[in-house]
């Protein structure tokens, strides 16, 4: 079975070469925490009060990318989580997790979707682990994030920008 997969991949590469296109090459050069902040502003109130209602957790996720060198790109997930209840803010977590990617032979029209969909998909499991560890080490149950469909986020943002442009409102 593995031989069949290898043969299929080789045939796809040969077909791209015969059509005059070079195969796309993508490599993760590195990944890192770019920015991290965890605040626990009301710990005194939380420790002295009896456990109350379940917290309200607000999540915000954005993705950005930029070219660093001709074939080197950074793709970053900007994550924010605020947990609160009637007593106030329980915690405020802000994390920017990024990856460096070396990309070769990516067509210009495919570059933006690749950087804003594929690259964040590759580094998301590491961000997810960090979020769980940080909230747990902050003294709370770990925040376990569900998988994120970065393709859907990309399309939604494109539609929002198109709608804003059509209405003449800057976004």
Residue 76 CB contacts under 8 Å (≥ 6 apart), including other chains: 34, 63, 64, 65, 96, 97, 98, 99
In this structure, the number of other CB atoms found within 10 A of the CB of residue 89 comes to 16
- Domain, as residue range, for 152: 22-167
Q: Does any domain span residue 141?
A: yes
Contact assessment for residue 88 and residue 42, using Cβ atoms and an 8 Å cutoff: yes
Q: What are the pLDDT digits (tens) for 58-117?
A: 999 999 999 999 999 999 999 999 999 888 899 999 999 999 999 999 998 999 999 999
Q: What are the pLDDT digits (tens) for 13-53?
A: 454 455 567 898 999 999 999 999 999 988 776 666 666 67
Closest listed residue to residue 97, CA positions, set 69, 57, 133, 71: 133
Q: Does any domain span residue 14?
A: no
Residue that the structure tokens 């909230």 belong to: 135
With cut-offs at 50, 70 and 90, classify the pLDDT of residue 9. Answer: very low
Which pair of tokens denotes residue 5?
A: 């997969």
- pLDDT score recorded for residue 14: 52
Q: Does any domain span residue 47?
A: yes
- Taking 70 as the threshold, does the pLDDT of residue 151 lie above it? yes
Q: Does any domain span residue 41?
A: yes
Q: Does any domain span residue 2?
A: no
CATH of the domain at 137: 3.10.420.10
- pLDDT score recorded for residue 131: 98
Contact assessment for residue 131 and residue 77, using Cβ atoms and an 8 Å cutoff: no
Q: Does any domain span residue 1?
A: no
- Taking 80 as the threshold, does the pLDDT of residue 133 lie above it? yes
Q: Does any domain span residue 3?
A: no
Looking at the 3D structure of the chain, how many domains does it have?
1
**Taking the model in full, what pTM does it have?**
0.80
Q: Does any domain span residue 4?
A: no
């Amino acid at each position: 079975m593995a031989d069949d997969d290898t043969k299929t991949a080789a045939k796809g590469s040969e077909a791209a070469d015969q059509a005059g296109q070079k195969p796309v090459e993508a490599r993760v050069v590195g990944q890192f925490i770019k920015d991290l902040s965890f605040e626990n502003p009301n710990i005194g109130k939380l420790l002295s009060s009896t456990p109350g209602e379940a917290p309200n957790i607000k999540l915000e996720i954005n993705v950005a990318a930029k070219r660093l060198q001709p074939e080197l790109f950074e793709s970053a997930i900007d994550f924010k989580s605020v947990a609160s209840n009637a007593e106030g803010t329980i915690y405020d977590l802000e994390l920017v997790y990024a990856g460096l990617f070396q990309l070769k032979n990516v067509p210009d029209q495919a570059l933006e979707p690749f950087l804003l969909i594929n690259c964040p998909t590759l580094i998301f499991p590491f961000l997810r682990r960090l979020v769980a560890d940080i909230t747990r080490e902050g003294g709370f149950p770990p925040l376990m994030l569900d998988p994120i469909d970065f393709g859907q986020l990309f399309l939604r943002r494109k539609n929002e920008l198109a709608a804003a442009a059509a209405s003449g409102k800057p976004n």
